[in-house]
């Protein structure tokens, strides 16, 4: 049997047998078998289950296998690249709800998607030569303009084909969105999912008004000792700890600034009750009353509990902060065309396909975490969300929260800050 076919069979068998989706409902944690196919679903662990894996470790292992398989196929498949599409993305675009309709439209085409573990990891795949593997890459907003395009890792999109889609997007994007363009005004990415990302509280214990007014200082209050958790998304923690210490993480820090950051990080970690990178475990602790809030979180993490009717679990955007008076941060995903030397014509077809109303909904409500999408400015897209779904993503306050948020950006002194952060975290 051909080595590449055998590798595909082994990979798909492994993914089908062990693919699991984990999500919270009010009375229990449920496991359900994921659908077989080329995508993988969220795989997270309960704190009480030492044999389980985190979503990130699962993604990392799966990514290594899928990347090896894709690399192995490229040599023999170069002649038929218009029958292939390889997508490197955040979870959501890799679900069967998104991929299967596109596969049905392109019978015979091999369409694969791999979920990444972080923006830098995905960028480094391209830098390591995998521009020859991937056709589309889906990352948060600063990378396309600041790194991918200058390094020649992505290429411009057809403006005539894609600019009309901005006209139906919500106000933040319809101008159109500035970070979707480079300095030469070439279109370098299409926005879709987005959301404010700061912290989360149980409003039965801490009112929304109090949380918004205190902002990040809530976590410096001595009365909060052992009442909150830290969702250990390292890069986001660094951003949020800087904001807590009245610093701008997107500007370089001098020695005094680094000392200030170290003091803030130590206080946040020392006074926390729980630290985990598992959002399911964190939400469970919040719902069960083990903690009253968690540091680092947002619509993305609070939405599963809210959709199950637990609307006392609420993502908070501070009323004020140290960056031009703002204390919140909003992430926005852009999907870009990889500068593959042997390009697939399916890449731009797929990027246009995900603008369809029903696919916008599938992308926004995938993987057990739910997010607004830029296309909700289109009535045909917006009408697909019911009242409970809109409430789960806090649609009622979204515009207000965005007005109090700055755009997610690259942490300027990251190398120094991650060393400090990691040392303090280890204790």
| Own/partner long-range contacts of 203-208 (Cβ < 8 Å, ≥24 apart) | 203/312, 203/313, 203/314, 204/312, 205/289, 205/292, 205/293, 206/292, 206/293, 208/314, 208/316
Distance CA 173, CA 374 (A): 7
The gap from C-alpha 425 to its chain's centroid, in whole angstroms, comes to 23
- Can you read off the two tokens belonging to residue 198? 């700061």
Distance CA 282, CA 46 (A): 9
CB 248 within 8 A of CB 257: no
Q: What is the mean pLDDT of the chain?
A: 85
Identify the bridge partners of residue 28 per DSSP, sorted by sequence position: 25
pLDDT score of 157 more than 90:
yes
pLDDT score of 373 more than 60:
yes
* Token pair 């009323």: residue: 319
pLDDT-above-70 percentage for the chain: 81
Does residue 32 sit in helix, strand or coil? strand
Element (H, E) at 17: helix 3-18
CB 67 within 8 A of CB 310: no
How many CB atoms are located within 10 Å of the residue 419 CB?
Answer: 12
- List, as one string, the DSSP characters of 348-374: HHHHHHTTSHHHHHHHHEETTEE--BG
The gap from C-alpha 277 to its chain's centroid, in whole angstroms, comes to 13
Does residue 427 sit in helix, strand or coil? coil
pLDDT score of 413 more than 80:
yes
- Can you read off the two tokens belonging to residue 346? 């399916």
List, for residues 68-126, the tens digit of each pLDDT value.
444 444 443 444 478 999 999 998 999 999 999 999 999 999 999 999 888 989 999 99
- Rounded mean pLDDT, 29-56: 31
pLDDT value for 106: 96
- Can you read off the two tokens belonging to residue 54? 């985190």
Listed residue (364, 367, 389, 390) closest to 375, CA to CA: 364
pTM of the predicted protein model:
0.81
List, for residues 214-261, the tens digit of each pLDDT value.
999 999 999 999 999 999 999 999 999 999 999 999 999 999 999 999
pLDDT value for 426: 94
- Give 306's pLDDT tier (boundaries 50, 70, 90): very high
Top-confidence residue, 287 or 61: 287
């Amino acid at each position: 049997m051909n080595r590449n076919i055998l590798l595909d069979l082994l990979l798909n068998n492994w993914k089908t047998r062990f693919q699991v989706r984990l999500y919270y409902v009010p009375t229990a944690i449920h496991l359900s078998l994921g659908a077989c196919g080329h995508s993988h679903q969220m795989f997270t662990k309960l704190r009480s289950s030492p044999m389980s894996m985190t979503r990130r470790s699962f993604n990392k292992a799966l990514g290594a296998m899928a990347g090896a398989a894709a690399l192995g196929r490229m040599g023999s498949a170069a002649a038929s690249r218009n029958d292939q599409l390889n997508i490197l993305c955040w979870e959501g675009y890799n679900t069967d709800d998104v991929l299967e309709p596109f596969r049905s439209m392109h019978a015979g085409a091999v369409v694969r998607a791999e979920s990444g573990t972080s923006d830098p990891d995905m960028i480094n795949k391209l830098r390591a030569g995998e521009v020859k593997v991937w056709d589309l890459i889906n990352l948060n907003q600063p990378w396309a303009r600041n790194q991918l395009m200058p390094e020649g890792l992505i290429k411009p999109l057809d403006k005539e084909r894609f600019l009309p889609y901005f006209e139906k997007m919500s106000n933040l994007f319809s101008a159109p969105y500035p970070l979707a363009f480079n300095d030469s005004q070439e279109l370098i990415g299409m926005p879709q999912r987005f959301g404010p990302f700061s912290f989360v509280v149980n409003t039965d214990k801490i009112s929304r008004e109090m949380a918004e007014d205190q902002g990040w200082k809530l976590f410096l209050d001595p009365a909060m000792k052992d009442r909150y958790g830290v969702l250990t998304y390292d890069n986001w923690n660094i951003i949020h700890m800087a904001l807590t210490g009245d610093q701008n993480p997107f500007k370089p820090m001098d020695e005094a600034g680094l000392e200030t950051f170290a003091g803030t990080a130590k206080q946040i970690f020392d006074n926390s009750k729980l630290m985990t990178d598992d959002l399911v475990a964190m939400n469970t602790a919040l719902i069960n009353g083990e903690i009253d809030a968690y540091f680092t979180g947002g619509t993305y993490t609070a939405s599963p509990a809210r959709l199950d009717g637990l609307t006392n679990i609420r993502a908070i955007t501070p009323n004020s902060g140290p960056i031009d008076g703002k204390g919140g941060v909003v992430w926005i995903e852009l999907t870009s065309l990889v500068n593959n030397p042997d390009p697939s014509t399916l890449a731009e077809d797929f990027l246009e396909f995900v603008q369809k109303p029903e696919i916008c909904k599938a992308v926004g409500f995938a993987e057990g975490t739910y997010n607004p999408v830029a296309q909700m400015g289109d009535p045909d897209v917006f009408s697909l969300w019911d009242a409970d779904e809109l409430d789960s993503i806090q649609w009622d306050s979204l515009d207000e929260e965005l007005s109090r948020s700055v755009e997610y950006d690259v942490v300027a002194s990251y190398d120094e800050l991650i060393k400090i952060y990691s040392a303090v975290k280890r204790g």
